[in-house]
Amino acid sequence: MAEVKWIKLSTQMFEDEKIKLIEQMPEADTILIIWVKLLAQAGKTNASGYIYLSKNIPYTDEMLATIFNRPLPIVRMALQTFQQFGMIEIDEHNFISISNWEKHQNVEGMDRVRQLNA
């Protein structure tokens, strides 16, 4: 996939109910940084919101903790929170995808990039 250099962040991101709930949790700032890092990673992967090392290798919690330079227990808590809030989905093969990816990326533009690089 072609490398993507940007994602969309809404100026009203912090008005979202889920973000407000996360802000009241322990380690809120770290959890929100993990959220932004997940969005950026999905942009780099450029696979319709999926995040993985390769098409056959999903990221583990340990891998994400290393890549994001964050403590493993907090990464696990963040992933669990995001999944409970419907912000991410984790399939039966442990591949993570960002729910409503089109909110965070210009999906049509990314499709054009994929076609040009095919």
Q: Are 19 and 13 in contact (CB under 8 A)?
A: yes
Q: What is the pLDDT of residue 46?
A: 86
Q: What is the pLDDT of residue 27?
A: 95
Of residues 58, 83, 78, 82, the one with CA closest to residue 68: 78
Q: Which residue has the tokens 């919101």?
A: 49
Task: Going residue by residue through the chain, which has 118 residues, state the pLDDT in tens, using 9 for 90 and above.
Answer: 456 677 888 889 999 999 999 999 999 999 999 999 999 999 888 888 999 999 999 999 999 999 999 999 999 999 999 999 999 999 999 999 999 888 776 656 656 666 666 6
Domains of the chain, start order: 26-116 (1.10.10.10)
Q: What are φ and ψ of residue 80, in 5° steps?
A: -65, -45
Say if residues 2 and 115 touch (Cβ distance below 8 Å): no
Backbone angles phi, psi at 88, to 5 degrees: -135, 160
Q: What is the identity of the amino acid at 41?
A: Q
